[in-house]
Amino acid sequence: MIGPGGLHLNPALVVRLVAICCTIAAGLASRWIPFESAIGNKYAGDSLYAVLIFLIIGLIWSRGSLTRRSLISLALVLVIECFQLTGIPMSLYRSSAAHWHLLGIALGTKFSWLDLAAYAVGIAIVGFLEYCWLCLWVGSGKAELQDPAEPP
């Protein structure tokens, strides 16, 4: 927002945007840099995918409770994972058009129950970290018991 003193950015918004960029970078790195274990190679990226969804939901709906945002994120990744059963994401992936191919990659092409477990772990971890952040935010006296994205 632009006020009398110039451009003012909400610090919580900046933190969320930086977290989104870092999550994207970490997710891409998890696909390019091999882990020592097969579990790390596959499921670190899946967990980060769910973290990204959670952060985007928080960016869009910052006034929603942490529990609701976590449940909405979990429901959304469940819908995306189940959508893979239709075969549409695989068709998009096989497309010669770059934008459809990239969408197919983003949606994933193979349903896996283990992916759902990785998503749940990612959302649980980021939810816990945000809960800790909320506790620190409230403890610092910068806000009442509210989401840090809301203006104090």
Strand spans (E) along 1-134 = 2-3, 6-7
Identify whether 84 is part of a domain: yes
Identify whether 42 is part of a domain: yes
Q: Express as a percent the part of the chain with pLDDT over 70.
A: 84
Q: Sign of the C-alpha dihedral, residues 142, 66, 42, 29?
A: negative
| pTM, entire model | 0.79
Identify whether 3 is part of a domain: no
Structural domain count, the chain = 1
pLDDT in tens, 84-138: 999 998 989 998 898 898 888 888 888 889 999 999 999 999 999 988 887 886 6
pLDDT in tens, 3-27: 556 666 777 788 889 999 999 998 8
Identify whether 150 is part of a domain: no
Question: How much is the average pLDDT of 47-66?
Answer: 90
User: What distance in Å separates the CA atoms of residue 17 and residue 144, rounded to the nearest whole number?
Assistant: 23
**Domain, as residue range, for 58:** 10-139
User: What distance in Å separates the CA atoms of residue 128 and residue 2, rounded to the nearest whole number?
Assistant: 33
The CA-atom distances, in angstroms, between 109 and each of 54, 119, 124 are 21, 16, 24
Identify whether 60 is part of a domain: yes
Identify whether 1 is part of a domain: no
pLDDT in tens, 113-123: 999 999 999 99
**Residue 27: its pLDDT value, please?**
85
